[in-house]
Amino acid sequence: MLGTGGQSLAAKQTTIQKTELLNLVVDINNAIKDRNFAIVSAHMPDRLYKEMAHRLNTTEDDLRNNLLKQLHTQFENLPSDAYYLDEIKIDYRQTDNGSFYALIPTTLKTEDRIIHYKTLAIFDNNRWYLIYGGQKTIQNPVFLEIYPDFDGINLPKETVIKR
């Protein structure tokens, strides 16, 4: 009886986690369309900001502000629908050590290309966070120091279609 209850609780927790990530993806898509990059910045892990700020000898606020500037620069000349996270085809996974993560199909349309890739979402401290920067980011020693469970995780290669 206890085993059944535990499984149900685990299944329920997974359902809650999936719903939370789905809501986050919708929020991020809307934020990008509305050019509200503060929402994007807020859904990157605090532990990562803290450690990177320490190593770069800067403040977390400065690091977040620099990210916001980069996002504005990256998206300023793109149409509002140029970036899209696909909430329907999220691939939920778990590391060997039990850490939840997901790969979210992502599309970025530029004037001359359509790029398809996966955005990594990790579940940390009872909250989902998006990790940008692809394979380079998850192989970064700072990232792996904070999140050692993700060592060896490989993101699928991006696909680029020329228009």
Report DSSP state, residue 89: S
Look at residue 4 and tell me whether its pLDDT is greater than 80: no
119-162: pLDDT as tens digits:
999 999 899 999 988 888 888 888 999 999 999 888 899 999 99
Query: What's the pLDDT band for 3 if we cut at 50, 70, 90?
Result: very low
Average of per-residue pLDDT values in the chain: 88
pLDDT value of residue 6 = 39
pLDDT value of residue 123 = 93
Distance CA 63, CA 67 (A): 6
Give a three-class secondary structure readout of 129-148: EEECCHHHHHCCHHHHHHCH
pLDDT value of residue 12 = 57
Query: What's the pLDDT band for 14 if we cut at 50, 70, 90?
Result: confident
Average pLDDT on 107-118 reads 94
CA distances from 3 to 8, 30, 98, 144 (A): 9, 41, 18, 34
Burial class (CB in 10 A: 0-12, 13-18, 19+), 122: buried
Return the amino acid letter for 47: R
CB-based contacts of 18: which residues, under 8 Å, 6+ apart? 90, 92
The lowest-confidence range among 5-19, 29-43, 62-76 is 5-19
Look at residue 7 and tell me whether its pLDDT is greater than 60: no
pLDDT value of residue 103 = 94
The lowest-confidence range among 9-18, 49-58, 87-96, 137-146 is 9-18
Q: Pick 10 or 95 by higher pLDDT.
A: 95
Domain boundaries, the chain: 2-162
Phi and psi at residue 20, in whole multiples of 5°?
Answer: -60, -40
Average pLDDT on 102-120 reads 94
pLDDT value of residue 161 = 96
